[in-house]
Chains A and B, each alone.
Chain A
Amino acid sequence: MADNVTLTIDGARVTVPKGTLIVDAAKRLGNDIPVFCYHPKLQPVGMCRMCLVEVGRVQRDRASGQVIVDENGQPRVVMAPKLETACTTPVEEGMVVIGASGRVKEARDDILEFLLTSHPLDCPVCDKGGECPLQNLTIAHGPGQSRFIFEEKFRLAKQLPLGELIYLDRERCIQCARCIRFQNDIVDDRVLSFYERGRHLEIITCSEPGFDSKFSGNTTDICPVGALTTTDFRFEARPWEMNMAASICPHCPVGCNLTLNTRREARSGGQMVIKRVMPRQNEQVNEIWVCDKGRFGHHYASSSDRLTRPLVRRDGKLLEAAWEEALELAAGQLKAAGAGLAGLAGGRLSNEDLYNFRQVVTGLGGSAALNTRMGGAEQTQQVGVGLGTNFAEMGPGTAILVVASDLEEEAPIWWLRVKQAAERGATLIVANGRPTKTDRAARYVIRYAYGQEVATVLGMLVTGSSEAAEALARAENSVILFGREGLDFAGSTALAQACANLLIATNHYGRPNNGLVGVWPDANTQGAWDMGLPARGQAVLPVGATASWIVAADPVGDGEISAEALRAAGFVVVQELFLTPTAQAADVVLPAASWVEREGTFTNGERRVQRFYPAITMKGRPDFQIAAEIGARAGLSVSSHAAQIMLAIAENVPAYAGLTYQKLTEVVKQWPEVGGRDLYYGGASYTNRQGLGVQVPSAAERGADITAGKLAAPPPPARNGLTLVPVTVLYDRSTTFVRSQVMHPYVPRPYVELNTADAARLDIQDGDTVTVEAAGVRVTLTARVDGRAPEGVALMPADLGPAVPAVAGPATIQKG
């Protein structure tokens, strides 16, 4: 094929696509050319010179361009006079690369000797020690002895905080710029930079607060030395001492693959604890990255205020009780409620939990529902992205529409991948009521007034209505990611339907890289819908409820129902990790196991079912087991084993047909190679040996008849004064995140964001205390006036403490 090139590397012939770099071609052969600055996910720069090789090229006649052949009829190869960097040189037909010669060895030894002239060699106290590319390459290639004078080594103050999460040790830095290039090229947060020159070169942060990026932890993975380390893992353990457990991030619908490093800890009384969270490679989900919320947001599992024993209300007080007693009481009361039983589950539960919960609740005659403020899963089940969808494959010919979502705050890794797709040539269209970071990469930005989301998308149905609509309709592949910003349940359902109609009208569904993706509020919202849990919309409990069973949801704490109203609706059973306001109102509280203590599966927003494994000692019991035990006491027979429940799911949920735990653990070889022996190549993220997950087919792919839903654009809302819009921020005070102390500096105080003109009109300055009144909510918080809110709109982040209105609506804001 003309697009392939065959060359010889150290005597072995390899055929690779044109444009491949020598270092990657060698890697395909299993020939590890040492590198420091090169990273397969970054553009090559050739800064470290470690990858020097001898390169020979086929000689051509200058006049005719014909290959010159020698007396044996073979093309004549001329070796270049100097060594060349394998990481910046693309392969050529007939090229001869020699990496195993004396000249090359001498050059690499010299480079290492130079690198070590300023390196402190404090490997014993370095967190990178044990998984350090510089350590490995020094042993493999180093000269063993330095000719430099030890006293002339660089002496700088040790750890320098770049932000609250990352420490820099300037002595250890070898100036490869992997971190700077990652921040600039991959995540577009230009917060790191070089300062000074030559031997004085050092990394600095140029943002305020320091290292202000949601992806900062990844730089510690790709740092080839111990210059960047995390404050969370500082001196916690040596890499070789820890165990590994595969997991899935529970914080957002992306479903990043994780490896949890665990170890027994003396100060926790010899318990297994999570020492750190590392990304696990899944090129179709998170590649080798993970956001800081996923990396540092695991502390809730080991929080000291976890519930460990069941609580039963006696004389108005919740007192500790035995499991048997609590389960008997709960089962008896829930069974007695019969049709009055109202089940409510949260989207952070696994598929197994949700399936068992629904089986037991409906088996007892009650109704089970999902606690969510976002709808649209029926549409993603119909025309969700096709099997084999991969953002990394999207480029020219693909259109991506992001509507009503601040993707970086809601699903950071999707933001990253959408942005990269746009850089490769995909047409990114962003429709939102305010500017977001996604706009930077967008070709078309559609700005609507809040309340006009559905109308905006329906407007794109009209052929030729706008360039953006035209681009989406004409694109070979189109993906729509819809969120819920400023929308309630009904609004987001309508938006999903509008998006689905748009995809159906332009025939962009049922194929790979085409379809609908919900930017859900929880990790497993999609799975919850798939397990057959409908949402009740705004109501927490149905009319006529006589007992409620609430699992992994906190409607009282979220301000959706008052504790009195909940208690008025009969007996309350709550399954929780913590004594939330809802649990405080319960009659029986059953302590649940957190996701790292048990097995299960999550279905991510792309409808990929992924499996996670137990990592640490269990506290409480898994939710699916509690449901099964309550069911058993009420005379129902449901399995209490995760793998068996998955078999039942496969039998009863059509989209999940044929799924087994074995299938979820299947892996294929992924490119680029990471982890393992060649830490210097791809960084410290883990190789995926525990499963890539399985995407489930949409109804369209299962042959269902897909028709557009009927939908009328709602009338434009009356615009009088300010509109208060609830928005999502990544670092919030939700139950599962607020317990990560390390992230507290990044969790903002409750605030409302105002446009400069509005603020001037209301005589409000940045930092003033203001009172917001909207939809029955009255809160006092800090005002921010920094030009991010459009005129006439006030943005109020949810989950920062004060209750926020469910939907965008009129508000009054006063100073004081």
Chain B
Amino acid sequence: MFVEFVRGLATTFKQIFEEPVTAPYPEVKRPVAARFKGRHELKRYDNGLEKCIGCALCAAACPADAIFVEAAENTDAVRFSPGERYASTYEINMLRCIFCGYCADACPTEAIVLESNYELSFTNRDSSIYTKDMLIVPVLPGGEPTPQKAPPGKFGRAIPDMKDPE
């Protein structure tokens, strides 16, 4: 019986010197999987223009009715996104969202992407509504913030040119 006892303890002591599998969150954040679906981000093009064109197809695809979009018209003097239309209001209710990713699938411009941020906590229902300012990514270096003043006719197309399938 003593032998078994020692063998068991040996296993225990061996584990003490093993690298732990847990991480001391929040000091250490472990990387998420490549296809992880976390909080949404609204993406920008390299020049700073918003990819979102306010088409509301994400809201149409959303099974939880978590997304609310309102669109407005771009002009060359006040341009948010390529083409005629941009999202003047973009809200996601994170309490409603089930992180299915249908919105990203529906997006014709790959503007909305479920990224790796999973740190979502709210103390009231109002703060669960993420507005466009909270969702949109910062402008990359070299880009300009929106609204931009664009040369006439340069960004006339809302949908990026498609290529024939290879």
Contact = CB atoms under 8 A, between A and B. Distances in A.
Interface residues of B, number: 29
A741 interface: no
A125 B164 contact: no
A125 B158 contact: yes
B159 interface: yes
B26 interface: no
A261 to B, nearest CB: 15
A694 B134 CA distance: 54
Given A235-B73, A266-B70, A266-B89, A124 B161 contact: no
A241 B59 contact: yes
B156 A235 contact: no
A683 B93 CA distance: 36
Interface string B75-115: 00000000111001101000000000000000011000000
Interface string B37-70: 0000000000000000111110110000000101
Contacts of B54: 125, 235
A120 B108 CA distance: 14
B14 interface: no
Given A241-B56, A241-B59, A266-B89, A150 B161 contact: yes
A238 interface: yes
Given A149-B164, A150-B163, A158 B156 contact: yes
Interface residues of A, number: 21
Nearest to B161: A150
A125 B60 contact: no
B153 A238 contact: no
Given A124-B158, A234-B73, A266-B89, A240 B84 contact: no
A265 B159 contact: no
Interface centre among A122, A234, A240, A265 (most CB of B within 10 A): A122
B54 to A, nearest CB: 7
Interface string A99-126: 0000000000000000000001110110
B71 interface: yes
A95 to B, nearest CB: 43
A159 interface: yes
Contacts of B32: none
Contacts of A240: 60
A157 interface: yes
A235 B71 contact: yes
Interface string A115-139: 0000011101100010000000000
A227 to B, nearest CB: 14
Contacts of A266: 68, 70, 88-89, 91
Contact of B108 (A124, A236, A237): A124
Contacts of B71: 235-236
B132 to A, nearest CB: 10
B137 interface: no
Given A122-B159, A125-B83, A125-B158, A150 B70 contact: no
Contact of B159 (A125, A235, A267): A125
Given A150-B164, A266-B68, A266-B70, A124 B159 contact: yes
Contacts of B162: 150
Contacts of A157: 153, 156
A152 to B, nearest CB: 11
Contacts of B159: 120-122, 124-125
Chain B contact residues: over half helix, strand or loop, or mixed?
loop
B105 to A, nearest CB: 14
B163 to A, nearest CB: 7
B60 A238 contact: yes
Nearest to A156: B156
B72 interface: yes
Contacts of A238: 55-56, 60
A324 B72 CA distance: 42
Nearest to A167: B84
Interface in A157-182: 157-159
A125 B156 contact: no
Interface in A28-86: none
Contacts of B84: 125, 158-159, 235
A125 B163 contact: no
A235 B72 contact: yes
A129 B53 CA distance: 14
Interface in A218-240: 234-238, 240
Nearest to B108: A124
B83 A122 contact: yes
Contacts of A150: 161-164
Given A157-B153, A157-B156, A234-B73, A125 B68 contact: no
Given A150-B163, A265-B70, A124 B89 contact: no
A236 B89 CA distance: 12
Contacts of B56: 237-238, 241
Contacts of B157: 122
Nearest to B159: A122
A431 B99 CA distance: 70
A141 to B, nearest CB: 21
Contacts of B55: 124-125, 129, 238
Interface string B148-166: 0000010011110111100
A226 to B, nearest CB: 11
Nearest to A124: B55
Interface string A378-414: 0000000000000000000000000000000000000
Contacts of A235: 54, 71-73, 84-85
Contacts of A241: 56, 59-60
Contacts of B89: 266-267
A124 B53 contact: yes
Contacts of A125: 53-55, 83-85, 158-159
A124 B82 CA distance: 13
Contacts of B83: 122, 125, 158
Nearest to B162: A150
Contacts of A120: 159
Interface string A263-295: 001110000000000000000000000000000
A809 B75 CA distance: 52
B152 to A, nearest CB: 10
A240 B71 CA distance: 15
A186 to B, nearest CB: 30
A157 B153 CA distance: 8
A792 B164 CA distance: 70
Given A150-B163, A235-B54, A122 B68 contact: no
Interface centre among B53, B56, B57, B157 (most CB of A within 10 A): B56
Nearest to B91: A266
B161 A122 contact: no
A238 B157 CA distance: 19
Interface string A785-811: 000000000000000000000000000
A164 to B, nearest CB: 15
A266 B158 CA distance: 23
Nearest to A149: B164
A235 B60 CA distance: 15
A401 B35 CA distance: 74
A120 B160 CA distance: 11
B70 to A, nearest CB: 6
A124 B110 CA distance: 13
Contacts of B91: 266
Interface centre among A150, A157, A159, A266 (most CB of B within 10 A): A266
3 nearest A-B residue pairs (beta carbon) = A124-B55, A235-B71, A266-B89
20 contacts: A120-B159, A124-B109, A124-B159, A125-B54, A125-B83, A125-B85, A125-B158, A125-B159, A149-B164, A150-B161, A159-B84, A234-B73, A235-B85, A238-B60, A265-B70, A266-B88, A266-B89, A267-B70, A267-B88, A267-B89
Given A122-B83, A122-B157, A150-B161, 9 more contacts: A125-B85, A150-B163, A158-B83, A238-B56, A240-B60, A241-B60, A266-B89, A267-B70, A267-B89
Interface of B: 53-57, 59-60, 68, 70-73, 83-85, 88-89, 91, 108-109, 153, 156-159, 161-164
